[in-house]
Structure 1
Amino acid sequence: MNVRHHYRTRLQLAALMLLSALLAGCGINNIPTLDEQAKAAWGQVQNQYQRRADLIPNLVETVKGYAQHEQETLTAVVEARAKATSIQVDANTLDNPEKLKQFQQAQDQLTGALSRLMVVVERYPDLKANQNFLALQSQLEGTENRIAVARRDFILAVQKYNTEIRTFPGRLWHTVMYSDLPVRETFEATSADAQKAPEVKFQ
């Protein structure tokens, strides 16, 4: 009896291993894998936007020291930063289209405010030559480029995820096992040229 039980257990184990291999080969794990990749890509978008937000206070203080008469422009940057950092979209709210749109709009407004600040800076040669400002300007330029890359990677990750749950066999697995995972919104520009990194170089 023990021998039969042992033999049956081994057969069940072998059958389970075979079934697992077959299911894995059919793409049963693709959807959660792609879902996690999209969330990770979004995390990088957030990281780069936060890096930009962290640079702004020092940038504003440096400009203020040379361009005290540009208070309106400086205030606009500070207010846009406050609004952008007040709207957070994490993995739990990433599938909320309205929340994502608000986040995008706030970040685009901050991008516009920074672009206007850089136009103002052109009027102050001493500021443009300041080493602290040049370092901040270089960091901001690099961050804007990283934002563009992170947004592109997120869009591609969402595209792969959405394609998987809309095509066979992913659509089948989605219906049977992952119906709680919706089609995901991508990162769309909400203003003209919003997908391009702002120009922050000086002649």
Structure 2
Amino acid sequence: MKKWIIPIILILLAAFWGMNVNNKAVELEESAKKSWSNVESSYQRRNDLIGNLVKTVQGAADFEKGTLEAVIKARAEASKPEINISNTEDLNAENLARFQQAQSGLSSALSRLLVTVERYPELKANQNFIELQSQLEGTENRINIARDRFNQAVEPYNNHVRTFPNKLIAGILGFDEMGYYKADAGSENAPDVEFNF
């Protein structure tokens, strides 16, 4: 009977260790998923505001049709890529890059719209437009904060599931490494600013 005590204790210790690794991975994974939901929520807020901005611009000025169509098209494209957060494998670097690319297209179109607006003094003075522009600026700040918080939540999760010996149990239980939200290529370069007076 005594010869079975040590193997039973070792098995129980291994089981408790495995449960601890699993429970901690689940906790960290849920935190990262919640953070990603906050990123998507911030982008959704921006998407909703852009719809209102386009309507305000259309109603306030005889505006360049091409610019508005580019914003509307980019907004539709940015709404397409979805990441299923119930599946951790979807939070990988490739899917995040695809999502970022669609959002960058919308940011670019929105920038062109705001630059074009500069030619319309009556629109710049429109209170609705001023308020929407202010809300968009605040939303862009929210998006940046949400992306940073997502990356902060992913780091401890990845550390937990990738370090040895946790990696052994995490791999068996299906906990995969998550991707980080990365900046657009070339964003490390300072933009050229030109004033055409």
TM-score by length of 1: 0.76
Segments ≥4 residues shifted beyond 6 Å: none
SS in 2 for 1:65: helix
Q: 1:58 offset after TM fit, Å?
A: 1.2
Give the partner amino acid of 1:134.
I
1:64 aligns with 2:58: yes
Give the partner amino acid of 1:138.
S
Q: 1:39 offset after TM fit, Å?
A: 0.6
SS in 2 for 1:82: helix
Aligned to 1:158: 154
- Return the alpha-carbon distance in structure 2 between the equivalents of residues 28 and 62 of structure 1: 51
Aligned to 1:121: 117
Aligned-residue Cα RMSD (Å) equals 2.6
Q: Are the aligned partners of 1:27 and 1:169 in contact in 2 as well (CA < 8 Å)?
A: no
1:37/1:191 CA distance change after superposition, 3 Å: same
Higher Cα Rg, which structure:
1
Superposed, which structure 2 residues align to 1:41-52 within 5 Å?
Answer: 41-52=35-46
Q: Number of aligned residue pairs: give it.
A: 176
Q: Unpaired segments of 5 or more residues in structure 1? A: 1-14, 195-203
SS in 2 for 1:87: coil
Q: 1:94 offset after TM fit, Å?
A: 2.5
Q: Deviations over 1:110-139 (max 9, x none)?
A: 011111111111111211111111111111
Q: Which moved more, 1:158-167 or 1:142-151?
A: 158-167
Q: Are the aligned partners of 2:18 and 2:169 in contact in 1 as well (CA < 8 Å)?
A: no
Give the partner amino acid of 2:135.
Q
Q: Unpaired segments of 5 or more residues in structure 2? A: 1-8, 189-197
Give the partner amino acid of 2:131.
A
1:191/1:117 CA distance change after superposition, 3 Å: farther
TM-score by length of 2: 0.78
Q: 1:169 offset after TM fit, Å?
A: 4.6
Aligned to 2:83: 89
SS in 2 for 1:190: coil
